Homo-oligomer: A and B are copies of this chain.
Amino acid sequence: MANSYISQAVIKRLPRYMRFLSEIRAEGIERISSRELSERMNVTASQIRQDLNHFGGFGQQGYGYNVQNLIEEIGKILGLDQAHNLIVVGAGNLGRALAGYSNFESRGLYIRALFDIQPEGTVSEVRGLKVYGMDELPVFLKEHNIDIAVLTIPKEHVREVAQLLYDLGIRGFWNFAHIDLALPPDAVVENVHLSESLMQLTYYMKHPNEVAE
């Protein structure tokens, strides 16, 4: 039964289901039960069924779930049924690394260009993508129907740049700068704080009796 409010705990698990189901599909397996999937993923079968039933009954009693169908359904839930066009703002190593991720495209996520205050340095292309100057943003965004900006610029500039992009119509922000980016409520911001992840690691190294994730 499709429900309207879904907790963030559930949403966080959906891409992980996608990853495992894609692996399972690649193995040529067509159907899977919640129990089998739970053993692979190290979660409870109950949680899988509970999670999926927030969005609808995708399985069949006595049979389980059709792998391909489930991938498609979760894809729809995650908004991957429609293509997204992205730009990377900040063409440093991190920006180039993300622009080079080839597996985004298999999910309908297309990085279309990079932007930087230094548009033309030594290297101007990543995987055939051009590095443009910031002044070319307005025209490019319109012409290429960009809806997500990946922010890989220093934290000193990120608020200003994000506001500029917001004013130009961008509503999706994947922020790698070390601040919690805040924008008007119709913007969606996903903050990635890599150094915080590393500090979790050092915590668990110091406290070996506690089990991480």
Interface set of A (CB-CB < 8 Å, partner B): 4-6, 8, 11-12, 14-16, 18-19, 42, 77-80, 84, 92-94, 96-98, 100-101, 103-104, 107, 109, 126, 147-148, 171-174, 178, 180, 186, 188-210, 212-213
A84 to B206, CA, bound (A): 11
Is B96 a contact partner of A15 (Cβ separation < 8 A)? no
A94 to B100, CA, bound (A): 9
A213: contacting residue among B191, B197, B212, B213, CB under 8 A: B191
A195: contacting residue among B104, B178, B186, B208, CB under 8 A: B104
Q: Pick 15 A–B contacts, CB within 8 A, sort by A.
A: A14-B203, A15-B193, A18-B199, A79-B205, A79-B207, A93-B96, A93-B97, A93-B126, A97-B97, A103-B195, A104-B198, A171-B205, A174-B197, A188-B208, A191-B213
A107: contacting residue among B8, B195, B204, B210, CB under 8 A: B195
A201 and B174 in contact (CB under 8 A), knowing A15-B195, A195-B104? yes
Question: What B residues does A190 contact at CB under 8 A?
Answer: 197-198, 200-201, 204, 212-213
Question: What B residues does A97 contact at CB under 8 A?
Answer: 92-94, 96-97
A19 to B193, CA, bound (A): 10
A212: contacting residue among B14, B109, B189, B193, CB under 8 A: B189
Residue of B with least CB distance to A106: B195
Residue of B with least CB distance to A100: B93
A200 and B15 in contact (CB under 8 A), knowing A186-B208, A188-B205, A206-B79? yes
Is A16 a contact partner of B196 (Cβ separation < 8 A)? yes
A194: contacting residue among B98, B173, B200, CB under 8 A: B98
Question: What B residues does A103 contact at CB under 8 A?
Answer: 178, 195
A199: contacting residue among B5, B14, B200, CB under 8 A: B14
